Amino acid sequence: MRYSTITDRLADLGSGKWALHIRARELAREGRDIIELTIGEPDLPVDPQLISVCQAAMNAGRYRYSNGRGEPAVVEAIAAKYRQRRADVTVDNVMVFPGTQTALFAVMLGLCEPGDGVLVGDPLYATYEAVIRATGAEPVYVPLRPERGFHMQAEDLERALTPACRVLLLNTPHNPTGATLTRNEIAALGAVARRHDLWIVCDEVYEELIFGGAFASPFDDPDLAERTIVVSSISKSHAAPGFRSGWAVGPAEFARRLLPVSETMLFGVQPFISDMTAYALSNPITTSATMRAAYQGRASRICTALSGGGVLAPHRPEAGMFIVVDVSATGLDGETFAWRLLEEEGVAVMPGASFGEQAKDFIRLSLTVTETRIEEACRRMNALAARIQPRKERRA
């Protein structure tokens, strides 16, 4: 039988990146003591108030069909959130989606055609390549250099640009590195986007998890308003990834044009989840503050413990729920180190290569387990690094 080419383009971009995570779960099922530091699943429960709102909405019959743009209450709550950042935002700028991932998919479909280029930092979130390729466009990688804290630099963007480029896909705060762009960096990147008439799609799913510095976004700059679309969700801010509740906010004309795409894909999202999301965005919920403190503390512990081992080089994150660690001093790349770490020490981490070429000497650890387990994971990582290191030195 014949299939469409999207199935070929995405064939190697799906669960293959998660092979180590899948193997780790198998080993855990077989009874091995596995410390799982692979995926970004918040370890806090959803606030009970949100569950109550959701249950009350279901009891009130809020499970009928919705509409393509979203339930009015949640659309208004999202508009109000972004109005605090830019005064001109109205409901006409908002579209509701089941999560950032779906929003990204729809937004890219609305902006790109086969042959187009999408500029994206490398390292990059594991699904971005597939999201870009699904449209027929090609990723055009902008190196995010460790010596610049993995912050995208305007001169690197300029250097990577080709005439085919139509979109700059930003992610700040960044997965996997935690890099959080400053206002000046955004302004410099925005100037390049304006000069070359690029759309900016900004994935801000970790907005609420910044450890110290200020959050900055191209969305907040009125000069970039006509070309910027934000995608985000309550997955990370409210520890609610399974609710699948997110949005895109961009120019009204963009939202109007994307509406039929969204309707065709989704036929609306669940009203009871929309009610819960409206409540989450309009009321003080402490989940993100609790997570911020926990993840920052755990990142510090990892930095101290691994630096103490003298071989592994952690990169302190500015935000988010991950930390990347340079393993190159072991003589192994991130992929080989990660598989040995799983098999020999029972610690599951993501190989950096799952996040692009620039990250191939790194592993990514999620910060979503207790400090005790993190300490134990670091002890095991240092043990493996020390076992490999002397052999490497003997060879030298």
Residues that bind ligand PLP (CB under 6 A): 40, 99-101, 125, 171, 175, 203, 205, 233, 235, 241, 246
Residue 233 CB, nearest approach to ligand PLP (Å): 3
Residue 39 vs 386, nearer CB to ligand PLP = 39
CB atoms near residue 125 (< 10 Å): 23
Residue 131 CB, nearest approach to ligand PLP (Å): 9
Residue 137 vs 205, nearer CB to ligand PLP = 205
For residue 375, the surrounding DSSP H or E stretch is: helix 371-395
Distance of CA 384 to the CA centre of its chain: 29
Nearest-10 Cα torsion for 143, 144, 148, 152: 100
Residue 106 vs 154, nearer CB to ligand PLP = 106
Residue 58 CB, nearest approach to ligand PLP (Å): 21
Nearest to 350 by CA among 334, 361, 374, 367: 334
Residue 179 vs 205, nearer CB to ligand PLP = 205
Rg (CA), the chain: 21
Residue 248 vs 384, nearer CB to ligand PLP = 248
Residue 306 CB, nearest approach to ligand PLP (Å): 22
Residue 105 CB, nearest approach to ligand PLP (Å): 10
Residue 346 CB, nearest approach to ligand PLP (Å): 24
Nearest to 94 by CA among 237, 277, 239: 277
Residue 168 near residue 199, CB atoms below 8 Å: yes
Residue 320 CB, nearest approach to ligand PLP (Å): 8
CB atoms near residue 330 (< 10 Å): 22
Residue 169 near residue 201, CB atoms below 8 Å: yes
Long-range contact pairs involving 78-81 (C-beta distance under 8 Å, separation at least 24): 78/247, 78/249, 78/281, 79/249, 80/281, 80/282, 81/281
Residue 73 CB, nearest approach to ligand PLP (Å): 20
Residue 125 vs 330, nearer CB to ligand PLP = 125
What's the Cα-to-Cα distance from 316 to each of 158, 300, 334, 349, 365, rounded to whole Å? 27, 7, 17, 17, 12
Residue 168 vs 205, nearer CB to ligand PLP = 205
**Tokens found for residue 355:** 């996040």
**Tokens found for residue 219:** 């969305």
Residue 60 CB, nearest approach to ligand PLP (Å): 26
Residue 233 vs 330, nearer CB to ligand PLP = 233
Residue 35 CB, nearest approach to ligand PLP (Å): 19
Residue 105 vs 254, nearer CB to ligand PLP = 105
Residue 13 vs 329, nearer CB to ligand PLP = 13
What phi-psi label fits residue 239: left (phi over 0), alpha (psi between -120 and 50 degrees) or beta? Answer: left
Residue 112, classed as helix, strand or coil, is coil
Residues, the chain? 396
Which DSSP string do the residues of 57-86 spell out, in sequence order?
Answer: HHHTT--S---SS--HHHHHHHHHHHHTT-
